[in-house]
Structure 1
Amino acid sequence: MAKLTIDGIEVEVPNGSTVIQACEAAGIEIPRFCYHERLSIAGNCRMCLVEIEKMPPKPVASCGQPVADGMVVHTDSEMVRKGRRGVMEFLLINHPLDCPICDQGGECDLQDEAVAYGRDTSRYEDDKRSVAQPDWGPLVRTTMTRCIHCTRCVRFTTEVAGTAEIGGTFRGESTKISTYVEKALTSELSGNIIDLCPVGALTSKPYAFTARPWELRKTDSIDVLDAVGSNIRIDARGAEVLRILPRINDEVNEEWLGDKSRFSVDGLKRRRLDRPWIRENGKLRPASWEEAFAAIANKAKATAPAKMGALAGDLVDVESMLALKEFFAAMGSKNIDCRINGAAFDASKRAFYLFNTTIAGIEEADALLIIGSNPRHEAPVLNARIRKRWLAGGFKAGVIGQPVDLTYKYDHVGEGADALQAILDGTHPFAEVLKSAQKPMLILGAGALERPDGAAIHTAAWKLATQFNMLTPEWHGFNVLHHAAARVGGLDLGFLPGEGSMDAKAMLSGGADLLWLLGVDDAAVRNIPAQTFVVYQGHHGDAGAARADIILPGAAYTEKDGLYVNTEGRVQQAYIAVKPPGDAREDWRILRAISAYIGHALPYDTLEQLRAHLKAAYPVFAEEFHRFAGNDQAGPATAGPLSSDAFAPLLPNYYQTDVISRSSPTMAACVAAHNPALAEAAE
C-alpha cells in the first residue's frame, strides 16, 4: 500500500493505483473525459491535470500517473486551474454550439466542466472543423463534429464488446473516429457507447429529439428480456416509457446493458392488449371484464380438474405465477408447467438449475466449458464478463456446439453430446485443460435441455463437474444459463406438474380442455387443437392472443411491481414506472379477481399480503443472496443415452425473442440491418 497526501488529506491506496484513483478514494472529484474506470487508460483529454510536488513544474495527467509513497498532490492550485482552463479552451475550439438541440444536453460532461473551466468568449477566429456523420446502424446516432477524440467508444468496442469495429483514422486535425468501413455496428452491447460518450457525438437514434432529461420521471427497475437481471432505470414521461438505461451493479451487469433490453422500449406501446376480448363465431370481439369472467367460469364449471391446465411464459413475475398456481390448486388441478419448450430441468435441488458460480464469480475461474449455449446472444452482458476474465489471462475456454464468434478465443471441442462423452472418458485433449485447472466451470445452455436427451445431458454435465473438481466446499463450477427471466422463479415456486399430471407438451397437444396461458407466446401455441378452450392472459397481441378464446389484458414489466429471479438465483424487484393502458391490470390482481368470481378466492387482497404469503411458503424469496458451495456431489438421476445430434442455436435471432422485442420497430430495423434473410422470412 502507498500513502500519499492529496489536498492535505492522507490516503492509502494499493500499489499500482493511479493518482486519479487515489483522489477518488480521498473523496476528491477530478474532471475527466477520456478516463473510465472500466476501460484502459488513454490519457487523451488532459482534463484530469493535477500538481505533484517534487516533480517537474508542470501539470500532470492524473489518470496515467502511478502513485508513489510520500507523494503530495494538489488538485486545485493556480497551476492546475490554469491548465484545465487551457485544455477546455482547446476542446471547445471546434465544438459546435449545438447545446440547445443536442440530445446530450443536461447530461453532458462537457457542459458540466465548461461551467467550471470554460471562458465566456472564444479567442479562436478561424472556421470550425466539420466532420461527416457516418451511419453506424439503427441504434447509434453520430454527430462527429462534436467528437473530442476521447476514444472511450473505441476502447469499449475493442476491450469490453470484443468487436473492434471503431477506431481513429487520419492524423492531427483530420483525425476521425469511425468504423473503418462504413457499416452498422454488430455488437449486442453497442448502445453502451452512448452512455460512455462524454459529449453529444454519440446519441440514441431511436430516442433522438424526443425529450429532455429534466422532463423524465426516473424509476429503478430490473430488465426481464434475458435471465441476467440487469439493473436498469426506466425513464418515462406521462404514460409513456421513453428510454431505458443501465444502473451500476458490480455483481450483475457492472454498468452495461444489452441492445435488446435498451432499445426495444418502443415495443411497449405497440400491439398492446388494453381490454378483454371474447371469441365468438371464430372472431374476437371486445368485452367487459364481467363477460370474460362469466365465460371462463362457465367453462371451468363444465371441465373436470384433470382436464384443466396452466402454463407460465418467459416474462412473468413471481407473484403472478404463485397466484396462478394456487388458483389452479384450489380448482383441484396440478397440471401446471413453466417449461414451455419441455426443458428437462431437475428441480429437486436448486443447484441443479442455477448459475452457481455467480456472474461475478466468473472472474475467479481459470477454465470454462460451454455446452450447447451461445452466451453472446442468450446473455450478452454475461458474455462480456467471460471476455473480461479471458483478457486477464490464464483462462482457457472450450465450446461444445456450433462454432460461433463469442468475442474471445476458445477450443471447439465438438458439435454434439458425443464430445461431452469424450471429455468424460478422458479421450479429448480438453479434458486435460479441465483436470489441470484450479477453479474450472461449465455453462450448460437451457436450450440443450430442450432436446429429447436433455435429461441425459443434464446428468452428464453434472457428472463432468464432479469428475473435474468443479464441486468443492470453496467452489461451485456447475452452471445453467437460462434465457427467460421467469424460468428460475417458476422452478423455485415448483410451477411444475404434480405426480401423474400433464406437462407442457401434453397440454399443448390437446390433453387439456381448458388451457390458461399466462404470458405464453411461444410458437407451440399456434398448434393447440381447436377443441381446447384457451384463456390468454398477457400484454401483447402475439401468438398467444391469436389462438385465445378469451383474452385478459395484463401489465408489462414496466407497469407493475414484481419479483424476478435471475439465472444465478438472485431475487430482485422491478418497480412500476407507468400505469397499464386502458383496462389492463396487473396479472396477480386479475387472478385474484377471477378466483373470487369462480368461488375459490385466493387468500390475499394486496401485494404486501401476497409477498408475505410467498416468503412464508417459499423461504428462498426471503433469504439473502449467496453462492452455493459445491460440496454436495449427488447429481440428477441418469435418464437415457446421449444423442450424437449437434446442438442447435437456441436464439438464432438475438433481436426478436419475446413479445416486446417482436413488437419493436427498432428491433425490426436491427434484424434488417444485420440479417436481411431473417427480415425477409418474417415478412
Structure 2
Amino acid sequence: MVKVTVDDIPITVPEGSSVLQACELAGKEIPRFCYHEKLSVAGNCRMCIVEITGSRKPLVSSCSQPVTEGMQVKTDTEIVRAARRSTMELLLINHPLDCPICDQGGECDLQDQAVAYGRSCSRFKDGKRAVTDKYLGPLIRTSMTRCIQCTRCIRFTSEITGTAELGGLNRGTDLEIAPYIEQAMDTELSGNLIDICPVGALTSKPTSFHFRSWELKTTQSIDIHDATGSNILLQIRGNEIMRILPKRNDLVNEQWLSDKGRFSLDGLKKGRLDKPWIRQGKNLIQTSWPEAIEHLGQKLKTVKAERIGAIAGDLCDAESMLSLKILLNQLGCYNIDCRQDGAYYDSSERWRYLFNTTISGIEKADALLIVGSFPRYESPTINARIRKRWLSLTEEFPIAYIGDLPTDPTYKINYLGNDPAIINDLLQGQNAFTDVLVKAKRPMILIGHSILTRNDSPSLFHMLLQLADQIGALNSQWNGVNILHTSASRVAGIDLGLIPDENHLDTHSMIEGNVDLLWLLGADELNLENLPQECFLVYQGHHGEKAAARADIILPAPAYTEKSGIYTNTEGRIQKSFRAIFPLGEAKEEWLSLLEIGRYLNLDMPFIDLDSLRNYMADVNPVYQSLGLMNSEKENFTIEKRKNDFENQRFTSVISDYFLTNSINRASPTMNECSLLRRSSSLKVTE
C-alpha cells in the first residue's frame, strides 16, 4: 500500500495505482475522455491533468502517472484549471456545432465537460476540419467529424472483442479513426462502441433521431437472448421500449452487452400475438379470454392426463414454467419438459448442470479446456471474459479446444480437433494437454450443448466429469466443471423439476405423437412435422411463428419487457427483471392465465398472486428463497466411473446463425439485416 495526499486528504492506495484512481478514492472528480477503466491506458486526451507538488514536471496526466510514496496531488489549482481550459479549447477546434441534432446530446461527456471545465467562448475563427463518415454496418452510425481521437473504440476492438477492426489513419491534423476495411463490424459486441464513445461520433443507427435521452424512463431487467443473465436497463417513452443498455454488474456481464440483447428490440413490435385465437375448422378465429379459457378447459376435461404433454421454451421465466407445471400436476399429468433440444442433464446434484467457477471466476482459472462449445456465439460477454483472462499478464492461460470452429474465437487456442475420441485420449493421458491441466492449480472445463444433445451425451458428459476429477478440478476450493447453457430458461426449468423421469414423456416422445394435447409455453424452436393433425395444440407465447400457425388455441403472452419475472443464468445466479411497459393488446401474464384456467377446472392452485407463487417456488426448491448466487461448494464429489461408450461422430455447432436464435430475433428487421450481411460475407470468403 502507498500513502498519498490528494488536496490535503491523506489516503492509502494499492501499489501500482494511478494518480487518477487515487483521486477518485479521495472523492475528487477528474475529467477524462480517453481513460476507461476496462481498457488499457492511452493518455492522449490530457483532460485528466493534475498538479504534483515538488515535481520537476508539475502538470501530469493522472491516468498514466503511477502513485509514489508521499506524493502530494492538487486537483483544483489555478494552473490545473488553466491547463484543462486550454486542453478543452484544443479538443473543440474541429468539433462541429451540431449539438441540437446530435443523438449524444444530453449524455455527452464532451458537452458536459466543456461546460464544467472549458472557456465560455472560443478564440478560434478558422474553418473546421471535415472527415468523411465510415460504414460500420447496420448497427453503428458514424459522424467522424465529431471524433476527438480518444482511441477508446480502437482499444475496445483490439482488447475486448479481439477483432482489431479500427485504427488511426494518417498523422498530425490528418489523423482519423477508421476501419481498415470498410465493412460491417465482425463482432457480437459492437454496440458497446456506442457506450464507450465520449462524443457523438458513434451512435445507434437503428434508433437515430427517435428520441432524446431526457425523454426516457429506465427500468432494470435481465437479457434473455442467452443464458448469461446480463443485467440491462430498459429505457421507455410512453408504452414503448426505445433503447436497451447494459447495467454494470462486474460479477456477470461487467458493463458489456451483446448485440442481440441491445438491438433486437424492434422485434418486440412485430409479429406479436395480442388476442386469443381458437381454431374453427381450418381457420383461426379471434375470441375473448373467457371463451378461450372455457374452450381449453372443456378440452382438458376430455383428455386423459397421461395423454397430455407440455414443453417450455427458451425465453420463459421461472414463474411461468412453475405455474404450468402446477396446473398439469393438478390434472395428474407429469409429461412436462423444458428442453426443446432434448439435451441430457445429470440433475442428481445442482452443480452438475451449472457454470460452477462462476463467470467472474474465469479470471482465477489458469488452464481451460473448451469442449463442444463456441462461446463467441453462445455467450459473447463470457467469451470477452475468457479473452480478458487470456490477455492477463499475471500468469499464462493455456486454452485447448475440441469441437466445431466456425470462426476466430478471438484468443489463441490449441486446437485438438473435432473428434469425441480426443476426450478419451485426455482421460487416458495420451494427449499432451492432459499434463497442462494436471499441472494447473485451477483448471477449468467448459462443456457446450453440442456435447449434451447427442445420442452418446451421458457417456461423454461422465467422461468429462472423470477427467475433471482426475486433473484436480473438483475440490472444496475450486469446481472447474462448467456447463455453458444457451437458453435463458434452462437452469430454472431444471431447478423446478421440468425434466420428466423415465416413466414419463420427454420432448421427442411428445412431438412424435404420443400425446393427444400438447401445450407449448413459448416453445418456438420445435419441428412439428411429425405431430399428428389430430393432436390438439395449445400455444402460449408472444410471437406468431410456425407453432402458433399450427395451434388449435392461442393464448397471447407478454414479452420479457412486459412482465416481472425471475431468471436463473448459466452459473445458477437467480435474478429478477421488472416490467417496463404494459403487455400488448390483450396479452396476459402466463401465471395469471394459468391460474384462471385452474380455477375454471376447480383445481387447488397453491398460489393466488405473483408473490404467493414465488413463495411456493421457494418451497419447491430452497435456492429460490433469495436472489443471487447460492454457494455450491462441496467437500466431496462422487464421480461414477462408466464405460466409455461414445460414437465417432463429429461435434456440430448448436448455433448456426448468431443473430436469429429465437422468435424475437427472427421478428427483428435489424437482426435479419445483420444475419444477411454475415452470411453474404461468409460466402465471399468461401469463394
Normalised by the size of structure 1, how large is the TM-score?
A: 0.98
Alignment-derived partner of residue 214 in structure 1: 214
Which residue is 1:325 aligned to?
325
1:486 to 466, 489, 492: 489
Query: SS where residue 244 of structure 2 aligns?
Result: strand
SS in 1 for 2:177: strand
Q: 1:548-595, CA deviations, whole angstroms, 9 ceiling, x for partnerless residues?
A: 111000011100000000000000001000011110011111111111
Tell me the distance in 2 between the aligned counterparts of 1:679 and 1:395. Answer: 34
Match of 2:656 in 1: 652
1:576 to 571, 574, 579: 579
Match runs of 1:4-403 below 5 Å: 4-392=4-392, 393-403=395-405
Deviation at 1:488, TM superposition (A): 0.1
What amino acid is the match of 1:36? H
Residue in structure 1 matched with residue 511 of structure 2 by the alignment: 508
What amino acid is the match of 1:110? Answer: L
- Letter aligned with residue 632 of structure 1: N
8 Å Cα contact 1:455-1:639 kept in structure 2: no
Return the alpha-carbon distance in structure 2 between the equivalents of residues 672 and 206 of structure 1: 16
Give 2:523's aligned residue: 520
Q: Which residue of 1 aligns with 2:480?
A: 477
The amino acid across from 1:440 in the alignment is: P
Post-superposition Cα deviations, 1:191-227, rounded to whole Å, max 9, x if no partner, equal: 1010000000000000100101111110011111100
Q: 1:595 to 1:374 in 2, by over 3 A?
A: same
1:661 to 2:665 alignment = yes
Distance 1:330 1:209 in 2: 52
Q: 1:421-465: CA deviations, max 9, x gaps? A: 110111111111111111100010023201111111111111111
CA distance in 2 between partners of 1:6 and 1:544 (Å): 64
Q: Is the 8 A contact 2:615 2:625 kept in 1?
A: no
CA-to-partner distance for each residue in 1:463-512, whole Å, 9 max, x for gaps? 11111110011100001000000000000001111451111110011011
Structure 2 residue aligned with 1:536? 539
How far off is 1:675 after superposition?
A: 1.0
Deviation at 1:672, TM superposition (A): 1.5
2:463–2:644 Cα contact (<8 Å) kept: no
* 1:615 corresponds to 2:596: no
Report how far residue 27 of structure 1 moved: 1.2
Determine which of 626, 633, 656 is the counterpart of 1:629: 633
State percent identity of aligned pairs.
51
Cα 1:460–1:555 shift into 2, 3 Å:
same
> 1:227·1:483 contact (CA, 8 Å) conserved in 2?
yes
Aligned to 2:552, which of 541, 549, 552?
549
CA contact (8 A) 2:466 2:641 kept: no
CA change 1:640–1:467 in 2 (3 A) is: closer
CA distance in 1, matches of 2:233, 2:423: 41
Q: Where does the alignment leave 5 or more consecutive residues of structure 1 unmatched?
A: none
Letter paired with 1:12: T
Please report how far the alpha carbon of residue 635 of structure 1 lies from its aligned counterpart in structure 2 after TM superposition: 3.2
Q: Residues 329 and 636 of structure 1: is their aligned pair in 2 closer, same or farther, counting only changes over 3 Å? A: farther
CA drift at 1:118: 2.1
User: Secondary structure of 2:99's partner?
Assistant: coil
SS at match of 2:527: helix
**Matched AA of 1:665:** P
Kindly indicate whether the alpha-carbon contact (under 8 Å) linking 2:623 and 2:630 is maintained by their aligned counterparts in 1.
no
| Letter in structure 2 aligned against 1:668 | N
User: Which residue identity does 1:540 align to in structure 2?
Assistant: H
- Aligned-residue offset at 1:678: 9.2
Structure 1 equivalent of residue 470 of structure 2: 467
Cα pair distance change 1:57/1:441, threshold 3 Å: closer
Contact map agreement 2:17 2:67 (CA 8 A) in 1: yes
Shift, 1:120, TM fit: 2.6
For 1:66 and 1:124, locate their aligned partners in 2 and report how far apart those are by CA, in whole Å: 35
Amino acid at match of 2:22: A
Q: In the alignment, is residue 559 of structure 1 matched against residue 562 of structure 2?
A: yes
| Separation in structure 2 between the aligned mates of residue 627 and residue 405 of structure 1, nearest angstrom | 34
- Do 1:307 and 1:512's aligned partners in 2 also have CA atoms closer than 8 Å? yes
What's the CA shift for 1:416?
A: 2.1
Task: Kindly indicate whether the alpha-carbon contact (under 8 Å) linking 1:146 and 1:201 is maintained by their aligned counterparts in 2.
Answer: yes
Give the CA RMSD over aligned residues.
1.5
